[in-house]
Chain A
Amino acid sequence: MAIIVNIDVMLAKRKMSVTELSNRVGLTMANISILKNGKARAIRFATLEKLCEVLECQPADLLEYQEEQQSE
Chain B
Amino acid sequence: MKPKHFSFMMKFIIIALALFGACFYAFMPSMVKFIETYNRFDMHHIFYPWSIVILLTAIPCYAVLVLAWLMAESVKKETQFSHLNAARLKKMAICALADGGFFFLACVVFWMFGILFPAIIIFSVLILLVAIAFAAVATVLAGMVEKAAVLQEDSDLTI
Contacts and interface: CB of A to CB of B under 8 A. Distances in A.
Q: For the side of the interface on A, what is the size category?
A: 10 to 19
Interface string B140-159: 00000000000001100111
Nearest to A41: B157
Contacts, number: 22
Chain B at the A interface: mostly helix, strand, loop or mixed? mixed
Contacts of B154: 41-42
A39 B159 CA distance: 10
Interface of A: 27, 31, 34-35, 39-44, 47
Given A40-B158, A41-B157, 7 more contacts: A27-B159, A34-B159, A39-B157, A41-B158, A42-B154, A43-B159, A44-B158
Contact of A47 (B153, B157, B159): B159
Contacts of B159: 27, 31, 34-35, 40, 42-44, 47
B137 to A, nearest CB: 31
